[in-house]
Structures are given as C-alpha cells and as structure tokens.
Structure 1
Amino acid sequence: MFPYKKLKMNMQSLKMSFFSILIMSAFGCTKLDLQPTNDLTAEDVYNSPLGYKQTLAKVYGAFALTGNATTGQQDIPAEIIKDEGNSDFLRLYWNLQELTTDEAAWSWSSDAGILGLHELNWSSTNAIISGLYYRSFFQITLCNDFIRQAAEDKITSKGFSDTDLQEIRRYRAEARFLRAYQYWVLMDLYANPPFVTEDFKLGAKDLPKQTNRNELFSYLESELKAIETELAPAKTNEYGRADQAAAWALLSRIYLNAEVYIKIPKYTEAITYAKKIIGAGYSLHGNYQELTIADNHLNTDENILMINYDGTHTQNYGGTTYLMHGPANVPANISGSNGDWGGLRTTQNFVGLFTDYSGNTDKRALFYTTGQTLEMEELYLSKAGFSPIKFRNKTRTGGDAPHQDPAKDFSDIDFPLFRFGEVYLNYAEAVLRGGNGGDKATALQYINNLRTRAYAGSATGNIGSSDLTLDFLLDERGRELYFEAHRRTDLIRFNKFTTANYLWAWKGGVKAGTSVSNNRNIFPIPSSDLSSNPNLNQNP
C-alpha cells in the first residue's frame, strides 16, 4: 500500500521544506518572498531515493489530507479553514460538481459557501468557489516543487544507482500527472486561471500570467502525452499511484469535453484513449454496490486511480467521510458511521432517472427513503428529498471498515477519480457524437455490460440499438456515476446545465426550476486573487 495511507491528518506533522514554501502557494503578491522556518531543508529531504518516495507520498496525500493556515493554505477563506474538513480537496470539488446539479442539495444554508450553489447564484467571494481554486493551486505548488527537486541535473548529481534514477524519473512523471489533473480541474471549472510550472522562479517580481482554455488544453494534451511512456504500464503501479491508464483516462475525459473547452470536437481522440484502457485488461467489477464501500481497494479490476482514505490515518471531515456522514437521516448501521449530519439529499428529478427507485431491479438505485419525501418541497430541509446511500463504510461482508476508528467518525472508503465504468460511457458517447475508430454495436454492448451488472447479472435491463441515444447516455451517466463528481461537467456538455433544456427542483432558485444565464457554466476567479495579481481578468 502506498505510504500516504500512514500519514496523519494535520499537515503540521509534515515537516518538509516545500510545505513551508507552500505558504506562498496562492500567488498573492505579498507572499512570494517567504522562506522556510523549520530546520529541515530540501537537501535533507531529497538526499535519498526513499526521501523522494516519502515526499511523493505527501504530494498524493494532499488529495486526502487537510491543514490550516500555518501549513500553506492561508489563502483559502477563513470560514472554510476554521472547519478543516471543508478545506479537503474532494469536499470542495464535489460540492461544486454536485450541489450545483440535480444530484445533490445540502441542508445547512448557513455553512460557508453553500447558499446559492444549488440555485446557481454565486459571487466571486463564495467561500467554496475560492476554496477549491486555492486548494488546486496549493496542490499544483506541491507538484511543482517535487518536479523541480527531481529535475534531471539534480538527481544525476547525487550518486544514485541507475535503478534508483529510473524510479525517481517515474515519480517525477507521476507528479506531472497530478499537476495536469489539477490544471484540468481549473480549466473545467474556472476556464482561465493563472498558470505556473516548475520553471516559475520563487521570489521573482513577476506575478503569474493568466492562461485560457485553448492554451491550457494544448498544454494538458502535450503534457499527458509526454509522460505517457514514463509512467508505469497500466495496472502495474502500487495501489493509489497513477499509471499509464490514469493518463489515458484523463485524456479521454478531456477529449470528450473538447467541444466545450476549445470549440473543436475531439471525439475520435476520446475513443482512441478509451480503447487503450479497454485493451489494458480492466473489467467491470461484478457488484456495483461494492464500488464505494470500505474495502473497495480490492476492486483492482475496475479501479484506475483512487483517492485513498483511511479511517485511522487520513482523518478529516471532508472526502468520503463527508459522503458517508452527509446523507440526511440515514441510520448509522446503514452508513457504517456513528450517525448522520442531516445534510445531503437528491432531487425528485434525479430519482426519476430510475424507473424503479427501490433498488429491487436496478441495484444502482441506492436511496434512503424512510421519513424522507420524494419531492424537494424545500431546498434547505433535511427531510425534503431522498438520501443517497451510495458511500457506506461497511465491507462487502457487512463488517466494519478495515481501519475503522473506534468512534466511527471517519471513512475508510476510497474515492474513484477514474474507474473503468466511465470509460465505457466515454466510448459510447464519443461514437454517437461522430467520433471515428469505434462503432455503435460495440458501444451498445459496453452500455449493456454496465446495465447487466446494474441488474445483478440479468439482461432484463438491457437496451436495443434504437434506445441508445445521447439523451439516454446522459441519463445513464447519471445512474452509473452519481455522487462521483461528474454531473456538472456532463450537464454542461449536453447543454442542460444553465438552459431550460432540463430543469430540476430549485435550479435558479425556483421550486420547479428555471434557466439561468449561461455565464454560470464557469466559476469566477476569486476576487482576492484579482486584487493581488493585476495580470488577472475576471471571467465573463
């Protein structure tokens, strides 16, 4: 198991020189000259191959760990930082991808940044929007520092063996992948962020320049292709580390959305990279309900890249702990926790994607309904709307999580950044949108593979060729991928996020739903960054 599962939750325990450097990570103009204050220098940390691996573990660990202002995140809004769980990358990202859609609402309007998300009505000072922006740059800065320290001239000057040098080069490629992933997050959500790589000079007077989707798309495409052969072959790396399949999965996802990002269709390319993964030996895990439970690390047939969470060693109130505790009024014996937070629910519109929401036919319909109303009569009411119970801190035998904390506060469930089910869906959609290199008959088979699993091995849910339409695929992506942080991106690609083409409860702040301005398809650059960096202009 990759060692970041053994890291403590508070980043103050990570006495690494680059974590001190990260205090300036949000690019504020007054923060670029700060120096490390502890006595552990880069020379100490990077003096052995083991030091490089331990540091890489902390780069990965930033996806699952939280910290406070003293550990490099002080530009994340104070109202987010004071509850460390709110500064977790996944919780911030998930909220923007899911609470803005038909799939989720949160009961507590007084929580920082929540008010206005589901209504698609926010400002550039929204705490969650600002929080994710700065969190992504925090993680990019981690990557940049590691890549800088793993530069070829540095590692070849230290007397390491050829075997160790090859391993460190692989670590460097993984850090480049993780940086590319975060830049994809910024491109998808904020469109035109600032941009820096390891070549940005710490302490320089020049502030980061703003990029745009065209430039960032080209960068991501070239970067992911450049590291493709440097990453471990698919399915050969340690669990929790990126390999070639992770790069292919991100490329397939980027190409599928290219028409949104750069106004140029890239569906043939989306098929090409989906097929690379399909040919690499992945398969659908046999039981859908085991994809998001406490021992889902065993699903190496389907998992491509996960954020590893551990109930003992990665304790925070974000991540899958949020998805375990969050669903409203769910009994502890179902969630595998010590009780619910009365927060997460879904709209009747999303529930309506299932012809039978009981779960007796399509096993993906995982809803807690007792005491809950189907209709979301009120947006900020914990009993209004069914509670999804997809993330459960139980093993496949119904036992406690492998690393269950005694109080049952924290989750052991790993979160899928990429899994094989999405790849089948990408292939099918790209074929229907006119991409070359695939065919509809194969696409239909892949979709029916997903549906056969969903119907517990039965073909009763399978569809025919005439049923395989783009609208059907959007619904199927909802049924298959809900609560996995895809929905906002999918709805935008199908022109149904801001428009009247699809309405859900409380979209636009109206009970029956209404359209909103299409400028809500991207989030604003935080006003705090605009004021500190004159190179930046606000999104439309």
Structure 2
Amino acid sequence: MKKIFKSVIIMTICMSVLQGCSIDPEYYSQVSPSNFFDSQDKVYQRFARPFTSWATYQGGVPYARFTVLNTLASDELLMPNRNGDWYDGGFYLNHFTHQFSPATDGYWNYTWDAISESIAQAWSAVEDIDKNVDFDALGFPEGIRESMLNQIKVLVAYFYMIGLDAFGGMPLYTSNQTELQSRATDKQTFEFIEGLLLEALPTLPKKASGDAEKGYVSQGTAAALLAKLYFNARPYTGEEMYTKCAEICTKIKNGEYGPYALAGSYQEIFGFSNATSPELMWVVPSENSKREVGGGTPQYSTHYNTWMYLDNPGAMSWNGLCLLPSQDINGKHYLKVAGNLGGPFKLGSPYDKFEATDLRKKNYVYNGNGQYTGMFLAGVLTNPHTGVSCIADGSREYPKGTIIPMVDQVAQLAPDPNGTRYPNGRKEGALYGEENSGVRLLKHSPIPNEADNALRFNPEVPVIRFTEIQYMLAECKWRLGDKPTAANLINEVRKRYFAGGNDPNPATAGNLDEYRFLDEWLIEFIGEGRRRTDLVRWNKFTTEAWWDHPADGPGKEYLNRFPVPASAINANPKLEQNPGYK
C-alpha cells in the first residue's frame, strides 16, 4: 500500500517579487535560455521552477519527504501494521523502531534524493536568470533581480537545512557546473547555510500588514530560518547559539522583518481562509481545482469510511497514520501508570497530553460556511448534523455496518465471538493494529461537506508560523536562565485554546522543565513535521523510551542522524557514510 507521489508541478509567479508573489501551475515546453526570456512572465516562470520541488516535497506534511522522517521516527504519529495493511515488509515500522540502514529502502533514501534534486533545480534557475535575463531591457523595477536570485538562494539554504538536520554535513554546491563534491563537515554546512541567509535577508521583500501569504520568500521567512538554524546549533555543530536565536526571534516579534503576530485560534491558522493570518510566515499555497495540496495527508490517515461521517464522498482515505496511543490494551494510561508494554512513559501519549477542556481536543466537525471545530477523530464518529456514522465495510476486523470507534490504543481489540480470531491471545504493539486503532489527526487542510466541496484544498499549508518564533524564544529564555519569561511566552499561546482563556494547567517557572517543554512543542506542532528535531535537541531521541519503543541505549547516538543511502554513495564515491552505519 505504499504510495509515493512523484508528480512534478511546473509553477509560474504572477505578481511582482517586491510586492509579493503567488505560485500557480503553468505548463510550457523546454526552450533554450538564450531565446526564452523575452518577457517578464517568462522570467517569473523560470524563477518559479525551484519552488516546484519545494512545494512537491513539502506540501504533504507530515508525510512529505522533507518532514516524514521527523514524524515516523518519533513519539508522535505512527503507521502501524493493520493486519498486513501498511506493513510493506516493515518499511514504515523500520522508522519507528530506528532500524535505519543505508542499504534498506526507507524515507532517508527519498529525502536525500529530494534534497539533491531540489538543490540542483534551484542552482539551475539562478544560473539561467543570472546569465540570460536583461532586467533593465524587460522593464523590471530596480531591486527585482537581487530579490529574485536571493529568494532562490534562501530555498537552497532551506534544502541544506533539511539535509543538515537529517544527515549532517552535506556536499556543498554553488553551481551545477562543478564536479561531484565530497561531504563538507557539519560546521561547514552550517556556515554555508548561515551565509546564504545573511546575504539574502536585506534584499528580500518585506510582508506588509494584511498581505496574504502566497509562498514567496520574505524577510520574515529568511529570519525565521536563521533563528531555527541557531536554535538547533548544538546538535549540528556542538556550539550553543541560544543567545543569537533569541536576538533574531526578538527582532521578529518587534516587527523588524514584517508584521507577524499570534493568531486568535487554530482555525485562523489552518482554516479555509488562512492566507491572511498574521501568524503565517511561509506557506505552500493551495487552491481548489488549481493547485490542490493536501496538507496533513488525511487520505493516508483516516478510516476508509470516514467520508460518511464527513458527509463528503470525495474524502476517500486509506486508513494508515494515527497518533501514538496513550492507553494500553486494558485501557491503562501510560502517562500515569505502567501498562502492558511498560512505562509509565514521559514521552508519547499525545492525545492524553491535550487538556480535556482544550478546544482542539474535540472531534472534527464541519459546521458549514467554512466553519469547523476540533482537529481529532476519536471514539464513535457520528456527524451531529446528518446523524450518519463511520461504519465498517466488513472487509477487515469488524462486521459490515458496525459503528466502530477510533480507539486511543493500538492492539487487538475486535470482537471475537467464536474465540478463533486470536489463537495466541490478544496482543498490543505497532505490529498489532486493527482498522480502528489510534486517534486520527485532522489539522491541516480541513475537509468540508460535499455541498461546500469547492472550499476543499483552499487552506494554505503552513511551513513556518509565528508561534514557532514564540516557542523558540521561550526555550532560549529558559536555557539562558529566565524561566518566568519563558513560561509567560508559552502561556500567551496556550490561552487561545481554552474558552475565556481559562487554562487549567498554565506553564510556570516551577513546572517548566525539559519534559514540559517537549510536551508543549508536541501538542502545539503535532503533525507539522518537526518532532524528531525537538527530541534530538533535548537529547531524548535515542536515550528515552516511549510506547512500544525501548530506548536505543548507550552507543546508539549515531541514530540521531540517518544513513547516507547506499545508492547515493554508489553514484558519488566521494561521499562518506555516517559513523555507526555499515
């Protein structure tokens, strides 16, 4: 059932780079650069091409190639074996169990390839535009050339950041006209990324108040990427740069790079008209019937018949991803007590970590006119407007027509009236999922009912949002000794999720420790493709256990990095493998 999207969209930019631009698909034939650039539109077409790789490999977060490793290898989301569905020879579970191998098929292969392809696309566009476009003759305003080229260079920096985070030092290229390179060191790769961002930042367009995010690279985008680079400097280079990160975050909060602010609700961030939310700093643009990007990949997550509950036959799905379970086979909560698979566990249990009164911790319900509530699918799913429930189709564990609950467990729980279904007893674990195992997440790209289906895919897919700046600043303050300010910054975000701002469990200088910070990152950014990075930064990725995942243990720190694919080394013998991998 493995589905790998390989389609490539060719995009065009339709508005001035200095005023902001949007990325829309346009198909055109290949021509020589020397005779192609005879209009501004064609220059924008070429400028847009590297955004193709970015949008293709980013938009399907968390299942996209730039985010999937951070998701499947962590304590956040899981692709369990569902009686053979989604097992695929252990492909998905190898990520969860940290069975990374350069010779084994895994998303580390696809991520490395996506990074390499995207970098090549970007430098090709820079070369074509730099060498073949006469900006003055085509009537471009002053500054367009520098802005256009540096937006692409920020894309290059972003692609290298993905590589640095996943693999460490990367082969560094500034052109497609050079011979194959060996891998640079981690520090050299870090400094290369930093240099690209610092050079580009002052030349980029600055978002104006009320502007919609359309996918272009702004000063806010580059500043946020620079802050993220400094924020994770210790695992990248061994040097802490929290002071530098805090300085950039403070400048962003003060509006130096554009008017960004916290949104008032999660619907404003992820809803059907989210493009003008002041929280969004970079998005993959999406539009119904034109450029449809399914952020959150609900087709890989929700139960086969969830479309019945959603009242939308177009929302068919394949029943894969779910939240890591909070409860054991007997209903014990792993956060509180030891369960069937050990514990209690401080990590994982994402659904339990949302407060009961959190407005997000409701079942997703579309209420019409682009309005919805909740972002989970848990328990019995009966649409309050239609009365229709999600039922079994009879092809898996439950009889046809049975109303089935989505349970916060991954275990063998289906009815067994004859006592023959489980001859070896009921079992729990990532290998023993069933069709209703696991709570499902419906956060990105909310789904309307059939009557309003023209709204589907209209939400932009957030890549960077202001809350990330707020949380980075909070963690930097905490690490630098200012715990009260750190708690206040966290609470400014949390209060929007409770009626009247009545947070039952606010952060305080006393309760804000490393695990509370990891919990805050988890519940705020669940499904946004960053979890593994946070665990590595806090030195928990290989040292801590979570549900059905014992700690990797001493001597396994090398698993903080993924292996360089054997296919990449075969293609470029100058590449060296990461330590710990054969």
TM-score past 0.5 threshold:
yes
Output the CA distance in 1 between the equivalents of 2:301 and 2:276. 24
- Matched with 1:232 is 205
Q: 3-state DSSP class of the match of 2:143? A: helix
- Matched with 2:489 is 446
Q: CA deviation at 1:515?
A: 4.3
Aligned-pair identity (%): 22
Q: 3-state DSSP class of the match of 1:465? A: coil
Equivalent in 140, 145, 170 of residue 119 of structure 2: 140
Output the CA distance in 2 between the equivalents of 1:149 and 1:130. 29
In structure 2, stretches of 5+ residues that fail to align are: 1-11, 15-21, 81-85, 327-346, 363-374, 380-404, 411-427
Output the CA distance in 2 between the equivalents of 1:291 and 1:174. 24
- Matched with 2:576 is 537
Output the CA distance in 1 between the equivalents of 2:74 and 2:571. 32
Equivalent in 522, 526, 530 of residue 478 of structure 1: 522
Q: Against the structure 1 CA distance between its residues 5 and 327, is the aligned structure 2 distance closer, same or farther, given a 3 Å change threshold?
A: farther
Q: Against the structure 1 CA distance between its residues 518 and 401, is the aligned structure 2 distance closer, same or farther, given a 3 Å change threshold?
A: farther
Equivalent in 430, 434, 444 of residue 379 of structure 1: 430
Deviations 1:133-189 (Å, cap 9, x if unpaired)? 1111111111101111232x654586244x435223211111011110000000000
**Is 1:430 aligned with 2:472?**
no
Query: In the alignment, is the contact (CA less than 8 A) between 2:63 and 2:297 conserved in 1?
Result: no
Output the CA distance in 2 between the equivalents of 1:311 and 1:289. 18
Equivalent in 270, 279, 282 of residue 260 of structure 2: 282
- Matched with 2:3 is none
Equivalent in 265, 281, 285 of residue 240 of structure 2: 265
Matches for 1:51-90 after TM superposition, within 5 Å: 51-65=42-56
Matched residue type, 1:523: F
Deviations 1:345-374 (Å, cap 9, x if unpaired)? 111256745657585335257432222332
- Matched with 1:28 is none
Deviations 1:466-504 (Å, cap 9, x if unpaired)? 22333211110101011001100000101111113xx22
Deviations 1:489-526 (Å, cap 9, x if unpaired)? 000101111113xx222325xxxx66482221111111
Q: Against the structure 1 CA distance between its residues 488 and 391, is the aligned structure 2 distance closer, same or farther, given a 3 Å change threshold?
A: same
Matched residue type, 1:93: F
Q: CA deviation at 1:59?
A: 2.1
Matched residue type, 1:422: E
Query: In the alignment, is the contact (CA less than 8 A) between 2:301 and 2:319 conserved in 1?
Result: yes
Query: In the alignment, is the contact (CA less than 8 A) between 2:272 and 2:459 conserved in 1?
Result: yes
Q: CA deviation at 1:532?
A: 1.7
Output the CA distance in 2 between the equivalents of 1:112 and 1:307. 31
Equivalent in 82, 101, 110 of residue 131 of structure 1: 110
Deviations 1:46-67 (Å, cap 9, x if unpaired)? 333322212222322332348x
- Matched with 1:368 is 377
Give the TM-score taking structure 1 as reference length: 0.79
Output the CA distance in 2 between the equivalents of 1:15 and 1:63. 21
Output the CA distance in 1 between the equivalents of 2:354 and 2:303. 17
- Matched with 1:400 is 452
Give the TM-score taking structure 2 as reference length: 0.74
- Matched with 2:72 is 99
**Is 1:527 aligned with 2:566?**
yes
Q: Against the structure 1 CA distance between its residues 261 and 47, is the aligned structure 2 distance closer, same or farther, given a 3 Å change threshold?
A: same
Deviations 1:323-359 (Å, cap 9, x if unpaired)? 4552345722449652321001111256745657585
- Matched with 1:47 is 38
Deviations 1:362-410 (Å, cap 9, x if unpaired)? 5257432222332322315243222122234346x99735554xxxxxx
In structure 1, stretches of 5+ residues that fail to align are: 17-39, 67-84, 405-410
Output the CA distance in 2 between the equivalents of 1:457 and 1:398. 33
Query: In the alignment, is the contact (CA less than 8 A) between 2:279 and 2:467 conserved in 1?
Result: yes
Bigger share in helix: 1
Aligned residues: 470
Task: Pick the structure with greater CA Rg.
Answer: 2
Once the two structures are overlaid, the 10-residue window that deviates more, 231-240 or 481-490, is 231-240
Q: 3-state DSSP class of the match of 2:261? A: coil
Output the CA distance in 1 between the equivalents of 2:204 and 2:118. 20
Q: Against the structure 1 CA distance between its residues 402 and 283, is the aligned structure 2 distance closer, same or farther, given a 3 Å change threshold?
A: farther
**Is 1:7 aligned with 2:25?**
yes
